[in-house]
Amino acid sequence: MSNDRTDAPGWPGMPARWTSSAKSGVGTAIGSKGGVWFTVSHGILNEVYYPRLDQACTRDLGFIVTDGRGFFSEEKRHARHEIVAIADGVPAFRVTNTCDEQRYRIEKEILADPRREVVLQQVRLTPLRGTLADYRLFALLAPHVGNSGGGNTAWVGDVKGTPMLFAERDGTALALACSASWSRRSAGFVGASDGWRDLVEHGRMEWSFERAENGNVALTGEIDLAASAGAFVLALGFGRTFGEAAHRAAASLLDGFDRAASEYCNGWREWQRTLRPLQRAGRGHRDLYRVSTAILRTHESDQFPGGIIASLSIPWGFSKGDGDLGGYHLVWPRDLVESAGALLAAGARDAVNRVLTYLAVTQEADGHWPQNMWLDGTPYWNGVQMDETGLPILLVDLAHREGVLDKGELVQLWPMVRRAVEFLVRNGPVTQQDRWEEDPGYSPFTLAVEVAALLCAADLAEVHEPGIAAYLRETADAWNSGIERWTYVTDTELARRVGVDGYYVRIAPPEEARFGLRAADDRRITNTVQVIDALLKVETPGGPVWRRYNGDGYGEHEDGEPFDGTGTGRPWPLLTAERAHYELAAGRPAEAEALRDALSSFANEGGLLPEQVWDATDIPERELFFGRPSGSAMPLVWAHAEYVRLCRSLADGRVFDTPPQPVQRYQVGKIESPYAVWRFNHKCRAIPAGRILRIEVLQPAVVHWSLDGWRTALDSNTRDTGIGLHVADLPSDRLPVGAGLLFTFRWPLAGRWEGIDFAVTVE
C-alpha cells in the first residue's frame, strides 16, 4: 500500500462495533462549565460522551508500544491493568499498565477539565527493559461521533500552527492534541488503512494518510519520546466545529494538567462534604459508599438537570453496532427514581429537587413515563411499565417526608402526581407490556408499587383535591386485597419440593415487605423467600446473589456468547441489597450487614458494581469468571443506588424508604376492602363472597344488571370519581356462594348498548 496518498483507501472500513461494558472508572467534572463524561476500561480511555450524557463520541483511545524490530504490544490487550481513584469519592483515576513481557510500564492520570469540554491524560512511559530509545509509542483513537461508528470523517491537520488529529460527524467534532510533538500522524479506515493494521504489519508507521471520509475511521499519532522524555499530556477536546474542539484542547494544554486536577478534585471533595458520612470500608478496605455516590452524581446530566441515565456503558458493546444503539445511556424512570432515593438517603437534597423537576417535564400527557428515553424525554422503547408511573409518586412522598419539599413545591408537583395516579387507576392493576418482559399480567412488585402510590397520592390529595382521596384509598384497598388471589399459588410441585404451602409468583422478589403491604414475617412472604432461595439463589465466593426470575432470558448464552435477544439471565447484585433490606425489615441487622459485604465483593477493581455476575464455569477467553461481573452493564447505577440506600437503612436501623401509609393501613389497621373490582382490562369472572362488585369504566354508563338470570333486572347509573373513571357498586355482597350476577352496559354519550352480557360468580 502506498504511503504517500492523501486520502486513505479502504472505504468505508469494517462494520463499526462498540467496546467492552466492563468499565473500571467513570467520571466528569462536577459543577463545571464543561460538558464531557469519560469512561475507562482495560487500562484505556473508552467512550467519551459529548455534548450530552446520552451521546458517545469515541469508542476508545489507547496506546501501542513497538520496538520497530518485531515487538508489538497493545496496552489494552497485552498489559496488566491497575486502577485507583486519586482520592475517595473523586472520580479521577491513576491507571498503571504493566507489559505482560515486563518490557514497559505506562502510567496515566485521567480526568476532565472543569473549565472546558476536554478529557486530559497525563502519561508517562517507563522502560522496564532497555531505554526509551528502544521503544516507539503510538496513540490510537477510534472516533464514534454522535453515537455512531459509521459516517465519521477523520483527518490530520494544524490549527494556528499546532498539529492535531481531528474527526467530525453531523455538527460535532473532536480534536486530539499532545503536549509532546507528533512524529507522525495518519487517518484511516478501520480494518483496511488504520494505524493498528499498519503497526501490526510494519512495527512502525509506514502510512501517513491525511483524510478518511464518511466511514468507520481511526486516527493514529506517534509521540516523540526522545523530546518528551516519555512524559506528556494528551488533550481530547470536543466542540460543534473542529476549530472549537481544537481551541479547547489547546487551551487546556496551556492551562496545564495540575491546574485542572486541582479544580476537579476540589469540586468533588466539596460536593462529597455535603453528604451524610455513611461510609464503611468493605472487603479490601474500599470506600464503596463514596464510590457509589460519585457514580450516582456522574450519571446526572448537566444540560438536563435531574436526568440520570442507567449506565455509561453499552452491555456487550463489543458485539453491538450502530443498529443497536440504545445501550444504557438512556433514562429509565425506574432506575432514575431509585437513584434519586439513594441521593436523598445520602443527603443530596438538591439532586432530588432536580430529579422531580425532570420527571414533571418528561411525563407524557396521559400521565405515564416512557419505558426508557433520551435525556430530552424522547422515548426510545415504547413499552409501558406501571411501576415506572407509580414510583415517581413514591419519590414525591419520600421527599416530602424527608423535608425536601415545601408547600409551594408540593403545589407545583401536584399536577404531575395527579396525572400519574389517574393513569394508574385507569390502566391498573395489571402491569403493562414492555420490550423484554412477559405479556401483561400481575406482578407482585408492580402491585406493591401501585398500591403504595395510590395511598401516598391520597394523602397529597387531602391537601390539593380532597374529593378524590377516598376513591384512591378504596382502589388501593381493593387491589391490595386481590394480591393473593392474583399472585399467590398453593400446592404446586415446586411448593411441595421446597416444603411450603404456597408462594408469590411472577418475576419479582417479595417487595410487599419493602413497601409495607405485608409484614416481613408474614407466612406468605417467608414462604416466598424460601422458594426464591431454592430456585434463584447462587452462592459465590463473595456471598449470595440472586437471579431475577426463572426463565429470564437476559444474559449471556451458556457458552458465554453475548446476549443477542436471547440468552440466560444471570444473578443481579442489586438483588443482594434488596434481600438485605428484607433481612433488616425482619429484624436481622447482622444478616443485612453480611449481605452489604457480599454486595461489596461483587465490585470490580475500580469499585464499580455490575448489572449481572457470571454464575457458571469460568470461560477465561471471554473474561467470564464465577461470581465476577458478566458482560452486562457496568457500572449499573441502580446497583450503586441500592448500596447507598442500604448504608442509610443500616445506619437508621430501618428500611429508609418504606412508605408509612401501607404499614399503618394494612399491617396496623388490618384494613380489608369491601369491594371486588371489574373493568374491561380486568374482567374478573369470580369474586369472594361478601364483596360488593364495583364496576369501573372510562365514560358514563348505565349498568343493566340482574341477580336472577335476567328474570328481573335493575339499572344503576355510574358516578364520576373525578379521576378519569366512572363507577357503580352492585350489591353482590348479599349473594350466596355459587350465585351469579349478570350485567351489561348502555352508553348514553354514544347512544348504544354494549351488546354483550358479562357474568361474575361468587366464590
Cβ atoms 588, 655 nearer than 8 A: no
236: DSSP letter: E
Q: Which of 30-34, 217-221, 268-272 has the lowest mean pLDDT?
A: 30-34
Domains contained in the chain, number: 3
Residue 436 is predicted with a pLDDT of: 47
Residue 441 is predicted with a pLDDT of: 75
What is the spatial distance between Cα 228 and Cα 431, in angstroms, rounded to a whole number? 62
Residue 515 is predicted with a pLDDT of: 74
Tell me what the pLDDT averaged over the chain comes to.
93
205: left (phi over 0), alpha (psi -120 to 50) or beta: beta
The domain of 603 spans: 274-667
Task: Look at residue 7 and tell me if it is in a domain.
Answer: no
In this predicted structure, the answer to whether residue 392 has a pLDDT above a threshold of 80 is yes
Pair 627, 680 in one domain: no
Domain at 706, CATH number: 2.60.40
Q: What's the whole-number mean pLDDT along residues 49-69?
A: 95
Residue 682 is predicted with a pLDDT of: 87
Task: Look at residue 547 and tell me if it is in a domain.
Answer: yes
Among 270, 290, 322, give the residue marking a domain's end.
270
Task: Look at residue 522 and tell me if it is in a domain.
Answer: yes
What is the spatial distance between Cα 596 and Cα 598, in angstroms, rounded to a whole number? 5
Task: Look at residue 625 and tell me if it is in a domain.
Answer: yes
Residue 286 is predicted with a pLDDT of: 64
Considering Cα of 318, then 378, then 343, then 576, what sign does the dihedral take? negative
Pair 183, 242 in one domain: yes
Pair 416, 387 in one domain: yes
Residue 453 is predicted with a pLDDT of: 98
Among 614, 649, 667, give the residue marking a domain's end.
667
In this predicted structure, the answer to whether residue 100 has a pLDDT above a threshold of 90 is yes
Pair 263, 279 in one domain: no
Cβ atoms 345, 648 nearer than 8 A: yes
Residue 32 is predicted with a pLDDT of: 66
Pair 263, 282 in one domain: no
Give the start-end residues of each E strand in 475-590. 488-490, 502-504, 537-540, 543-546
What percent of the chain is modeled with pLDDT above 70? Answer: 95
Q: What's the whole-number mean pLDDT along residues 756-760?
A: 96
In this predicted structure, the answer to whether residue 1 has a pLDDT above a threshold of 60 is no
Task: Look at residue 521 and tell me if it is in a domain.
Answer: yes
Element (H, E) at 227: helix 225-228
What is the spatial distance between Cα 603 and Cα 35, in angstroms, rounded to a whole number? 27
Pair 743, 655 in one domain: no
How many CB atoms within 10 Å of residue 350? 13
Q: What's the whole-number mean pLDDT along residues 545-558?
A: 93
Task: Look at residue 104 and tell me if it is in a domain.
Answer: yes
Q: What's the whole-number mean pLDDT along residues 17-27?
A: 95
Domain at 60, CATH number: 2.70.98.10
Cβ atoms 528, 514 nearer than 8 A: no
Pair 145, 106 in one domain: yes
Pair 103, 252 in one domain: yes
Pair 719, 628 in one domain: no
Residue 180 is predicted with a pLDDT of: 97
- Tens digit of each residue's pLDDT (9 = 90 or more) over 129-163: 999 999 999 999 999 999 999 999 999 999 999 99
Element (H, E) at 692: strand 692-697
Pair 659, 703 in one domain: no
Residue 508 is predicted with a pLDDT of: 42
Q: Helix H segments across 299-443? A: 333-346, 349-362, 387-401, 407-427
Considering Cα of 499, then 500, then 502, then 508, what sign does the dihedral take? negative
Is 265 in a helix, a strand, or coil?
helix
Task: Look at residue 20 and tell me if it is in a domain.
Answer: no
Residue 401 is predicted with a pLDDT of: 96
> Pairing relation of β-strands 686-687 and 719-720?
unpaired
Pair 86, 137 in one domain: yes
Q: The C-alpha cell of 235 is what?
A: 488533550
- φ and ψ at residue 273, rounded to 5 degrees: -65, -20
- Tens digit of each residue's pLDDT (9 = 90 or more) over 276-314: 999 765 454 468 999 999 999 999 999 999 999 999 999
Among 667, 700, 733, give the residue marking a domain's end.
667
Q: 393: Cβ–Cβ under 8 A, 6 or more apart, which residues?
A: 417, 420, 421, 453, 456, 457
In this predicted structure, the answer to whether residue 597 has a pLDDT above a threshold of 80 is yes
Place of cell 412508605: 659
Which residue type sits at 680? F
- Tens digit of each residue's pLDDT (9 = 90 or more) over 418-467: 999 999 999 988 875 554 444 567 888 899 999 999 999 999 999 999 99
Q: What is the DSSP annotation of 412-431?
A: HHHHHHHHHHHHHHHH-SSB
Query: For the packed helices 407-427 and 349-362, what is the interaxial angle rounded to 10 degrees?
Result: 50
Euclidean distance between the first and the last CA atom of the chain, given in angstroms as a whole number: 83
Residue 42 is predicted with a pLDDT of: 96
Cβ atoms 71, 203 nearer than 8 A: yes
Domain at 345, CATH number: 1.50.10.10
Q: What is the pTM of this model?
A: 0.95
Pair 472, 506 in one domain: yes
Cβ atoms 176, 57 nearer than 8 A: no
Task: Look at residue 8 and tell me if it is in a domain.
Answer: no
Query: Which strands form 104-112's sheet, in the order they lie side by side?
Result: 79-87, 90-99, 104-112, 118-127, 231-239, 172-178, 162-169, 152-159, 211-215
